[in-house]
Chains A and B, each alone.
Chain A
Amino acid sequence: MFRALFCIGLALLVPGLVAMGVSLCGGPVEWFTDTQTFWGVPISLFVFWIGLAHAGTLISAAFLVLNVKMDRRTALLAEMSTLCSLAVAVCMPLMHLGVIANFYMVAPFWDARGNISNVRSPLVWDFCCIAVYGVLSLLFFVSHFCMNPLKDDLPTVAVARAWIKKVRRPMAWILFPLVLWVHSVVSLDFASTFVPEWQGAFFPLYFIAGAIFSGLALVNFLLTFENYRVRVLEKLTLVCSWFMCAFWVWNFIINGNFCVSAFVFAGVLPQLLFVEWVRENRYACVSLWLSILLGMLLERVYLVSPTMETFGWIDLGLVAFGAGMFLVTFYGLRRLLQKGIEDDELLMGDVDTVGEALDSEFEAASRKYFLPLSTPEYRILRLPVLCGILVAILFSIWTFNANDQVNIELRLVNVFPLFGPIIALVAALILTSRALWTVSRKSVRWVVVSLLVAFAGACGAFYAGGSSVPEKASAETSSQLLDNVSVVNVVWDSRCATCHGIDGKFNKKFVREFYPVPQTLSLDRLDSIGEDSLVQVILQGRVNMNSYEGRISEGMARNLVMYMRILAERDSARASSAGEDEE
């Protein structure tokens, strides 16, 4: 059965990859884009898959938090579906971009040229939220497998379990709000614009309900193939369908638009669950869950591009790519982790006892007396969260300062959406790092450390930024030395003075428009750098300064350096005479 699904996935993935390749090279012209919004199928698919990605972790985290008993296998499958759909979802916005190579510019991180992404854009919030959500979901998923690291070494197993037990429930407490936060932010992409179809204060709620609904349908779908039903999830799906119907009616009343096919597939058909024969029949169930997924997909497409008329073959290929990649990664992973999922210790129906154990531990702890700030609750959960809040505050201070060069007003409201992911990331890393470190094997530790080093390297590369040499320099190849100061003066005034100022002190007003402030060219500084180095700086460029190679000859550069000296001498003479006057 699983192999059949894997093959179906492959069959969908191959044409999907062709479509993907074509649209990667051809760009947005290849697929349908809305004339009003410039957005198209990839964004609808992104919203759809990110919705699916929310259910898994939400289910297992929320159930853990709310003390709803759920067996480990369901939780594992749900979380695995989260990770796989997240992988699909991440491909979509990348493909949506016109210049894919520039995707990293969305990360709210500085580069050496003083560029920083526009933190008030919902897309930046999106980027951060989803990155953090991916990392934390992975951590949460991995923590399942740390429960039984080495079978033959019982003491280690006991220690590991104790660690993980301590961590999982607080982690669920962090993840639960994060999931809701992430999807609210995704909905803000739409709700914060002026597109009439996208406006509405209920958008976050609407999106969260839709995400949970489609995610539940997916988990149910996957569980059906495990020959397995979880009644809580089925009931929840039904309740969500009512919510969605209510939202659709609401939207119809406010905006007057309505997607009939979505209503039929995802609103009306799920009500067949009331019929006993449908509930009991596997094939009926599978088609029911599929109809919900189809309905939600159509709904997302309708939402993102209201003028959508026809699906081109590339559009269909992208849909196939999503489904195919999900099935292949999911069933590939399932096969890989089969031992962990169908473990002899953790059989189907084995209820997660972590919560209970922790409860009893906390009960025992509550009877003891602790000094303030040393209770286990404080150490495990509150301290990491407080650290996260501290980091979030530091981040907002830093962005407010960095934003100095961007001529767009920044308010706290604009940074606030990033608080959730930052707090969650810091808290969860502090929370789990020690536990996972003690539990993990040596090889895993090496991998993690090298990954961290690679990540730091990537940050460094990001900071260094790309080359600023113009692709086609308009060559100015006269190489004669000019002794005439007035000619150099004109070159200085036209080429350099925009930033460095007519008098060699930087032109603060003009500089603020595009570049960070350059160095003051004092006599000391010129002497310490030396003439040859300065010529090289002019020709090759330096941190924030563009290269002038091909635009200014070397002789002219040397003249400019001499002119700089004249300016600096004039300045120091003026300063010393001013000093004498004061004396």
Chain B
Amino acid sequence: MDRREFIKVCSVMAAAGLLYGCRKIPFVGKASSDESLSRAIPALKDFEDEVEKAMARGGKNLDLVKVPMPSILNASDADLQNRFGMAIDLDACNGCGKCIMACIVENNIPLVTEEEREKDRFMHWIKMRGDAPFMCAHCGDAPCEKVCPTGAANHTPDGLSAMMYKRCAGSRFCGANCPEKARKFNYNDAEELGLLRKFNAEVPVRGKGVMEKCSMCLQRLQNDRLRFKAEHPFNEWRGRNVKTACAEACPRNAIIFGNWLDPESPLVKAAKHRELFAPRSIAKFDPSVVYMRGRR
């Protein structure tokens, strides 16, 4: 074999290798909507089974420390009227896990594949940690937002740690910098693999390679805000009619959603005379989602 031939063989092999690797690229563009209809859609039971499995795996117990009541965000453009948050009543919560299922149904959270399940990479936004639900705490001074290179993870003036899914490049830096690992990464295209059921048309389906996490049911807040603004154009909206899916689903009323800056809010009323706690690692970042226990 002379040199010319050798190089030829090598380059053909390289090209073949690349083609083999790229065989998964759909050359005909996106699948049409007819196809997506015929794709397998998991039953509700599958989601319930997965929640059970996730709960059986359990998680590390939360290491809680006392925190003061959340107040106005420490940002130049903070909203002085609204800062949304939640308080989880540890005295009432019995760890039934109904909130996880409610969250899945509200936010179209997909199932994960068998391998992912073994690696404990569930997509659930809520995780049971020692009989207490844990979700993104929407830290006022969130470390995840600071490191996001594209600005996809950002903070709304009313205290939500928001995600622009279209802007996310999937560098997973936010996930690395979240001390409690509240962020979930879409390793797979759930729609393609038939792991997704669109329960709620209002919540967009997150594509492959995008980070996601608890949005504090942003869609419910936005809907209420739009409706309120149309009905009462000159009044200040305080989000009083909103409840997150998990708070709504809790049979023992252990998750309370509300506005930390609104004295009328059920959240402030419930948390006023309780001792508030947050996980030790994020207590210094001014979390909006806190735990309450005992009486003050």
Contact = CB atoms under 8 A, between A and B. Distances in A.
Interface stretch (A191-199, A216-224, A258-266, A556-564): A191-199
Contacts of B155: 407-408
A335 to B, nearest CB: 12
Interface stretch (A21-29, A420-428, A438-446, A573-581): A21-29
Contacts of B10: 10, 14
Interface string B111-152: 000001001110000000000000000000001011111111
Interface in B25-59: 25, 30, 33
B277 to A, nearest CB: 20
B169 A97 contact: yes
Interface string A32-55: 010111110000000000000000
Nearest to B119: A35
Interface in B138-174: 143, 145-152, 154-157, 167-173
A90 to B, nearest CB: 15
B22 A25 contact: yes
A127 interface: yes
B241 interface: no
A102 interface: yes
A33 B21 CA distance: 20
A93 B10 CA distance: 27
B167 A105 contact: yes
Contact of A121 (B77, B173, B186, B229): B173
Contacts of B145: 118, 408
Interface stretch (B96-104, B205-213, B255-263): B205-213
Contacts of A27: 187, 208-209
B270 interface: no
A312 B69 CA distance: 47
Interface residues of B, number: 64
Interface in A377-419: 406-409
Interface of B: 6, 10, 13-14, 17-25, 30, 33, 75-77, 116, 119-121, 143, 145-152, 154-157, 167-173, 175-179, 181, 185-188, 201, 207-211, 226-227, 229-230, 233, 281
Interface stretch (A168-176, A274-282, A365-373, A492-500): A492-500
Interface in A80-110: 93, 96-100, 102-103, 105-106
A406 B13 CA distance: 48
27 contacts: A10-B10, A17-B14, A17-B17, A17-B18, A17-B21, A19-B21, A20-B21, A23-B21, A25-B25, A27-B208, A28-B172, A35-B121, A39-B176, A97-B170, A98-B208, A102-B167, A102-B168, A105-B149, A105-B150, A115-B167, A118-B148, A121-B149, A193-B177, A194-B143, A406-B154, A407-B157, A408-B146
Contacts of B77: 407, 512
A490 interface: yes
A27 B171 CA distance: 12
A175 to B, nearest CB: 25
A38 B210 CA distance: 12
A102 B121 CA distance: 24
A25 to B, nearest CB: 4
A513 B168 contact: no
Contacts of B211: 98
B195 to A, nearest CB: 13
